[in-house]
Structure 1
Amino acid sequence: MIENNRVEYKRELNDRFERSVVSFLNYVGGGEIVLGVDNSGKDIGISNVDATQLKIVDRIRNNIRPQTLGLFDVVLTKMDEKDVIRVIVSCGQQRPYYIRKLGMNEQGCFIRVGSSSQPMSEQMIEDLLSKRHKVTLQTMISPRQNLTFRQLRIYYEEKKFEPTEQFVESLDMRLSGGEFNYVAYLFADENGVSVKVAVYAGVDKVDLVETREYGYCCLLTATQRILDRLDSENRTFAKITSRNRLERERVNTVALREAVINAIVHNNYTLGVPLVEFFSDRVVVTSCGGLVEGLSVEDFFRCRSMPRNRELMRVFRDMELVEQIGSGLSRILRVYDRSVFEFTQSFTVVTFPFEKAFISSSNGEINGEINGEIKLLLNVIRAHPDVTIPKLVELTGKSKNTVFRILKRCQADGFLWREGSRKDGRWIVKNDSGGK
């Protein structure tokens, strides 16, 4: 355990702490400060960890500029049974960052060089300042100004946060002139932003089964509804073998969830909105905007973080939809390799292939590989081929929307179709051997 360009050890919270944080904020990919470990890597431990964590957050928030909330995490962990505190710092989009009381100059700006934090030269400061992103969610004015935040307040109250009179200001939702910015617009009770989820019958976009938009409301509410939809579409299937019953999902649930949340949090909303597409052999999650400027592909796959929208990251972190910085990508890479990612100048695309056994079941080889909802509905139809939709709702105990969704899915998968008119026709179910 030695210090390097990504890791710095400190025995305790000292007066050079802000200097280290600033150096990682200005360093591509960020880094980590570990408190309770000496320079040699020996675990010393931290006493009074709760108070120390509060001091860390307070000092970063108040002593460093531009705003840093959403760009760091404070994590308590143990090393050799001793409490240590990890401060994980992302590289910010508004570089150069500096120590507030010293100003944006050679005394206040630092960057990581090897295992130390070094002052930035005047030329380095000017270069970073010229590249600073002028357009961010915080600087974009909201298309509407009559915004309310009832849903957002409820979320914070449920997490035991107490929204104060300065609730909106604390989440960076206003411009310097007092107008609501685009952060406020995304988290408002009503807005014009929605994320689409599309379902196709085949491997291309020719046969659209269903498309639905989730949004026009607080981004947290829209996200939760999308995650619920993923649970429905990414259904578990079972395969009965001679010895046991094997259950699997179309794609890994954790990886899919992380990809969708990342797409929402890191999306470039000046270009468009995220899109989730289900095909017969894969799920595709697309977000607008390629890699953040300054972050290489190699940095990305090393889980080095440079959030595009720190304001969104901060709120999603508060709601525990995002864990510590950089953890989402690592969860995806535990299950899938780099090939599932594709980067262009305008888009980031993540493609999760279905389990091969599920693809075969989608082609009609059911063999027990259908979940409980579908099995229930198909059994009812087998017993009552001329059943109507209202009767299906009654017999299955499912809602009308659920019945419609299951029928569409079964028809798209090719093991259910209808003969005759809607009024006088009858349902046909393909049996396990492929016949009617």
Structure 2
Amino acid sequence: MEDGTRKVAGIRNVLAEEERLANLIADSITPKLVPSIEVLPWRKTQVLAVEVYPSSNRPHYLTRLGPEQGLFVRVGSTNRRADSFLIEEMRRYNRISSFDEQPMPQLNSEGIDFRAASEFFKPARKLTAHGLQTLKLTAAYQGKTVPTVGGILLFGSDRLNYFPDAWIQVGRFAGRDRRRLVDSKEVRSYLPAAAEEAIGFLQKHMTREAVIGPVKRVDQWTYPVVAVREAIMNAIVHADYAQQGAPIRVALFDDRLEVENPGLLPFGLTIEDIRKGVSKLRNRVLGRVFQELGLIEHWGSGIQRMTAACQDRGLAAPHFEEIGTHFRVTLSSKRIHEPPTDSRDQAILSALAASGGQGRSTARIAKEIGMSPRATRTRLASLVERGLVVEIGSGPQDPHRRYHSASDSA
């Protein structure tokens, strides 16, 4: 294709070029790579189509540079030389194993804080030594039971000694860049609790006051909590903990929230794939434990749930990108359209607008719109999450809890 005009120039001696290309691939790449090369007619000329399928012998490298210097990966529109950690991850991926499933033979089973692990699993089930093995928090190694990488990452008594970057750095910046840090926190809790701790920090900086009738404080999150939680949970579960030098980072700016974790997308997965719900779990032990603890749902559903939550609030869909050897999710605070509502939602909003600023109870709204109190509560929760309705009350069980139209708080 010609530069500038994008005109397909084609190849004059297509058979000779096909042979030259096949020889170049065979002589330059180790282990041997056998792509599909096809001659295709295009109008009055011909082109060569080359299709490379996933290889069982990967990773492949440039023969003249060797296996350590000649291995490159595609990041966005650039080619990047793979470092030792990325090369090892490629080899693990080809062995159909994950980093967090590997045993740590230098430790014994006492390396896991069994009491802490049991507390996390208490709502789900009683954790036993056999349960640790079933979850692959421990593994058999040369006749003894040792913790796995995942076991130490999740519940290791001295986990930060072995994985010093397995924590979350959260920061609030003034403006739209990193020049002025207003507040920050280092979240070094066990990973199953780290996400909620990070969210708690963000909520402190994402709230605003609204006045409805008597002056009362109403917490209205800038971003849907569902989307924030999914972004942070995904970062924890999909981070590449074999990398060294940077923790998971969560940065809140005036106009956006960035959640960044070490590690590119797993091999063979594209940003377009994850938007469609396709998922390849990098850390199987972490994913299995988080799912059993109810911290994540089905693998691959988090991205779509995050996107839906933002769009329901009238915000842009999350932006995904690979930067260096990291993956970043960006949530924008700019509203691009009004949150969508259906006839039931409109009926609720109309009922609240007719209250004259006095608000309505769940029972009163349910009666006015002809729905059951349970279905009405579900609708109200969604409207509150989308910022269309404001809830006033001391808690879910407050009998005097009332709902107001968000427009009344202006």
TM-score by length of 1: 0.47
TM-score by length of 2: 0.49
Larger RCO, structure (CA 8 Å, separation 6 or more): 1
